[in-house]
Amino acid sequence: MSDYRFFDRLRPDAAAERRAIIAGLLADSPAIAPKHFYDSVGCALFEAICELPEYYPTRSERTIFDEHRAEIADAIGAGRQFVDLGAGDCRKAETWLPHLEPSRYIAVDIAGDTLARALARMAPEFPALELTGIVADFTRGLDLRADLGVWPTAFFYPGSSIGNFVPDDARHFLSDIHLHCIAAEGSGLLIGVDTKKDRQRLAAAYDDALGVTAAFNRNVLRHVNSIVGTDFDPAAFAHVAFYNEQQSRIEMHLAARSAQRVRIDGTSRDFATGDLIHTEHSYKYAPAEFTTLLHEAGFASVRLWQDHARDFAVYWAA
Ligand code: AVJ
């Protein structure tokens, strides 16, 4: 079987999504949800970010995976369905396939083109593996129960993507995953989460010298233009990123470089120089805090692996 199944669960919500974006742009404090970073250009820029010297999370996570692969695979067990949340180009999951020998691989992502391309690439490489792609926005809730049935499932949520949720929403999302897990004995969640550290290093990871993260941030305006027909000029906004220590989160914003008027759905919004559009939170968790969050979400047992510098943490929660 050199093929894959593909389901688009995003299209039915397109009108509601447009309304949500417009409401965010017209709100007292304008904001764009970080999921809108990931059009094709945004996915490519994010892949570039992961190669940057300043952006340690991807490398630190890879180090943990490489050093503890056998032990982690042993904790998960073989023959599970492997569900990749935010699969992107599927390359992270691919490194696990020989070790987990999953019964099926189910990749979920909001970026349909990137996901389809990845599965088309994988199909001939893994002819014996059942491949499924699901285009979905799981920030609106996760319900894969009909897709998964009652077979034991290993959920994979790497890269500290959980950091985009505020902690209450993160707990809620983890509870949703836990609800899926109780359907079948032997299920669990393998999740990678960034830790708290020196504020300079954190800030540099989100404001790199080459300006790749700045381009990634500004690109969201091109994507929003294409979704809702606004006329943002990405070059008219500056990238702003800093660590908010009180809230343990990186914040990214776009700051208007000059006074300007932007057309938004039949009306308009004026931006004064320095006015901000909020685009991302990226929360950081001490291992003890995240372990508590996993317990609060219903997971009874939590195992933890870290790199030597403790820059990142990987948890298996069951
Ligand atoms: C994909 C959400 C984990 O927060 O580190 C990288 C996205 N934003 N650089 C992160 C991101 C700016 C990334 N996550």
What is the enclosing helix (H) or strand (E) of 242?
strand 237-244
> What is the pLDDT at residue 1?
47
User: Ligand 1 mean position to 282 CA, how many Å?
Assistant: 7
pLDDT above 60 (res 115)? yes
* pLDDT tier, 219 (very low <50, low <70, confident <90, very high otherwise): very high
Q: How far is the C-alpha of 5 from the C-alpha of 14, rounded, in Å? A: 22
Q: How far is the C-alpha of 254 from the C-alpha of 43, rounded, in Å? A: 19
- 261 - beta bridge partners? 270
> Whose CA is closest to atom 12 on ligand 1?
206
- CA dihedral angle for residue 276, residue 86, residue 10, residue 216, rounded to 10 degrees: 30
- Going by C-alpha positions, the residue among 289, 284, 281 that lies closest to residue 194 is 284
| Domain assignment of residue 273, yes or no | no
pLDDT above 90 (res 54)? yes
Are 258 and 275 in contact, with CB atoms under 8 Å apart?
A: no
pLDDT above 50 (res 199)? yes
User: Ligand 1 mean position to 79 CA, how many Å?
Assistant: 31
| Domain assignment of residue 51, yes or no | no
Q: Which of 160, 219, 240 to mutate to test the pocket of ligand 1 (most atoms within 8 A of CB)?
A: 160
Q: Which of 49, 92, 220, 282 to mutate to test the pocket of ligand 1 (most atoms within 8 A of CB)?
A: 282
Q: How far is the C-alpha of 158 from the C-alpha of 258, rounded, in Å? A: 38
pLDDT above 60 (res 228)? yes
Instruction: Output the pTM of the full model.
Output: 0.96
DSSP-derived pairing of the beta strands 130-135 and 5-8: parallel
Q: Is 179 helix (H, G, I), strand (E, B) or coil?
A: helix
pLDDT above 60 (res 166)? yes
* pLDDT tier, 285 (very low <50, low <70, confident <90, very high otherwise): very high
| Domain assignment of residue 155, yes or no | yes
> What is the pLDDT at residue 278?
98
Task: List the domain range (segments joined by +) for residue 310.
Answer: 56-197+284-317
**Residue 273, both tokens:** 């120089």
| Domain assignment of residue 63, yes or no | yes
Q: Please state the domain count of the chain.
A: 1
* pLDDT tier, 2 (very low <50, low <70, confident <90, very high otherwise): low
> What is the pLDDT at residue 184?
94
Share of the chain above pLDDT 70, in %: 99
Q: Which of 280, 284, 285, 312 to mutate to test the pocket of ligand 1 (most atoms within 8 A of CB)?
A: 280
pLDDT above 50 (res 102)? yes
Q: What is the CATH number of the domain that holds 85?
A: 3.40.50.150
Start-end of H helices in the chain: 14-26, 40-49, 56-76, 91-94, 97-100, 112-125, 145-148, 167-181, 199-205, 212-228, 287-296
| Domain assignment of residue 27, yes or no | no
Give the residue-averaged pLDDT of 161-173: 98
**Residue 262, both tokens:** 């932007």
| Domain assignment of residue 307, yes or no | yes
Report the chain's mean pLDDT, rounded to a whole number: 96
Lining residues, ligand 1, CB within 6 Å: 49, 57, 159-161, 163-164, 206, 213, 280, 282
| Domain assignment of residue 251, yes or no | no
- The owner of tokens 């809702």 is 228
Give the residue-averaged pLDDT of 43-72: 98
Give the residue-averaged pLDDT of 69-79: 97
pLDDT above 90 (res 140)? no
User: Ligand 1 mean position to 152 CA, how many Å?
Assistant: 29
> What is the pLDDT at residue 10?
86
> Whose CA is closest to atom 2 on ligand 1?
161
| Domain assignment of residue 276, yes or no | no
> Whose CA is closest to atom 13 on ligand 1?
161
Give the residue-averaged pLDDT of 237-254: 98
Give the residue-averaged pLDDT of 275-293: 98
**Residue 2, both tokens:** 């050199």
